[in-house]
Structure 1
Amino acid sequence: MELDSQSKPHLPRGVRLKRDEARGRWTLLAPERIFEVDATAATVLELCDGERDLKAIVAELAERYNAPLAVIEKDVVAMLADLKAKRVLET
C-alpha cells in the first residue's frame, strides 16, 4: 500500500469526484459509499489522473500554494494512503 514518487494515483473505475453545487461541497462517490472532501483534497484528487506521478502532483501543489515540497508531500501521501486503504484510490 505504499506510495512512492513514481506512483501514479488515480480513481478506480466506479469512483468519481463530484461537486455538489446544491450543498456547496465536494464528494467522492464510490459504490455504496460517499465521502465528503474539502476543497484542498478535491484539488489533490483532480490531479490524480493516472498520468501524473506523485512527484509531479506534489510539485504542482507546492507551486500553487507556495509551500515547501516536504510539507506538501507529507500531507498528500497521508491523504492518498488513507484513500488507498479505503479502496477509493489506486496507484
Structure 2
Amino acid sequence: MSLDLQSTPHWRQGYRFQYEPAQKGHVLLYPEGMIKLNDSASAIGGLIDGQRSVAAIIKALQAEYAEAPDLSEDVEQFMEVARAQHWIELR
C-alpha cells in the first residue's frame, strides 16, 4: 500500500510522543515500553499532531531545514516504518 501524502498521521491510542530528560531526547511511550527516537525521527514526530497531512509535515520540515536536500523520502520512509510498527494510523 503506497503512502498518500494527503493522509493525516495520528499517534495510535496509548502512544505518546514526548521529550524525556532521562533519555536526553524524544521518545515514543506506549503500554509495553518506550522507543528512543533519533533527531530526524524526533523532528518528524514533533509535527504529528492529527491535523497536518504528510505533505504539510514535509513542507514544514523543508522550511525549517532549508539547507537540507529534499526531505520527502525521509518523511515518507518514517511514516511507512511507523505505520508498519503500529505507532501511527494514517487517515
Whichever residue aligns with residue 75 of structure 2, its letter is: V
Greater per-residue helix proportion:
1
CA distance in 1, matches of 2:40, 2:3: 19
Partner of 1:7: 7
1:54-69 counterparts in 2 under 5 A? 54-66=54-66, 67-68=68-69
Partner of 1:45: 45
Partner of 2:72: 73
Give every structure 1 segment of 4 or more consecutive aligned residues whose post-TM-superposition deviation is greater than 3 Å: none
Partner of 2:18: 18
CA RMSD of aligned residues (A): 1.4
Describe the SS at the equivalent of 2:34: strand
Q: Deviations over 1:35-82 (max 9, x none)?
A: 1101221121111111111111101101100134xx311000101110
CA distance in 2, matches of 1:77, 1:14: 23
Describe the SS at the equivalent of 1:6: coil
Whether 1:84 aligns to 2:89 is no
8 Å contact 2:23–2:36 — kept in the other structure? no
Identity of aligned residues (%): 33
Whichever residue aligns with residue 74 of structure 2, its letter is: D
- More displaced 10-residue stretch of structure 1: 23-32 or 74-83: 23-32
CA distance in 2, matches of 1:86, 1:2: 16
Greater per-residue strand proportion:
2
